[in-house]
Amino acid sequence: MIIPKKFKTLRDFLEEKVVAYNQPSFIAHDPISIPHRYQKKQDIEISGFVAAILAWGQRKTIINKCTAFFKLMDDAPYDFILHHQEKDLKPFLDFKHRTFNATDALYFIAFFRWYYQQYDSLEAAFTAGLQPDSQDMTQSLIHFHHLFFSLPDFPSRTRKHIPTPARNSACKRINMFLRWMVRKDEGGVDFGLWPAIRPDQLVCPCDLHVDRVARYLGLIDRKQTDWQTAIELTQTLKQFDAKDPVKYDFALFGLGVNLQL
């Protein structure tokens, strides 16, 4: 395990980096800037979910695509979801971001309309599969995947955009979204909107940057990146902070992006 010489322990090193990156200055250049544009809880949930799912590629491009997506909703996602007419969906026929296309966009809108006609918050979609003694979000994410595709005639192609531990996916984007919604601290980056899920139940998002740094620091041993890798990393991070292990996502991601190793 390689630790910069000025730090006595790896935990000290990561703690400093959490403080360095978990700052308001982090927001502007990250997809989390999209939900930070809104005040209403449902707007934050909808925009956060879409931004997390579209978080693939360069962050600048992701932010631009999300901005364009919500302009099609007049920058009022919740109101649009509940009250749009059929004609309002036509502009989405031209929307595309990598492999996410109009078919996917229209199904996301249909799901959210169906869901928010019944529930006040998206939190319930994730707590339904969660038990008080759940150590992580495995069953929650499996339940959410089933719920998301419970509408009749859902497009099969859209399934690739909503991962599930049942297929051993690392579920990076969903885990990132959950971090945004659940964690709350003085950093002001994450929202802390969902108190029914504990921070210690979250699973660390594993993307290219996090994986590279985590392996460099000896935090994970698995060669592939899958659900078990995400669990392994989270379990290791719990040794540093059992109540809030996913805060170290800031450190690992920030180090990976800025190459400060």
- pLDDT tens digits, 125-142: 999 989 889 999 999 999
The answer to the question of residue 175 being in a domain is yes
The answer to the question of residue 57 being in a domain is yes
pLDDT < 50: residue spans in the chain = 1
Q: Which residues of 52-87 are buried (b: 16+ CB within 10 A; e: fewer)?
A: bbbbbeeeeebbebbeebbebbeeebbebbeebeee
The answer to the question of residue 191 being in a domain is yes
Furthest-apart CA pair in the chain: how many Å?
A: 62
What is the pTM for the complete model shown? 0.95
CA 139 – CA 108 distance, rounded (Å): 22
The answer to the question of residue 145 being in a domain is yes
Q: What is the pLDDT of residue 106?
A: 98
86, 91, 97, 102 alpha-carbon torsion, rounded to 10°: 40
The answer to the question of residue 2 being in a domain is no
**Number of structural domains the chain divides into:** 1
Q: What is the pLDDT of residue 259?
A: 66
Q: Please answer whether residues 48 and 39 qualify as being in contact, where contact means their C-beta atoms are separated by less than 8 angstroms.
A: no
The answer to the question of residue 238 being in a domain is yes
Q: What is the pLDDT of residue 1?
A: 41
Parent domain of 175: 10-258
CA 8 – CA 189 distance, rounded (Å): 28
Q: What is the pLDDT of residue 8?
A: 66
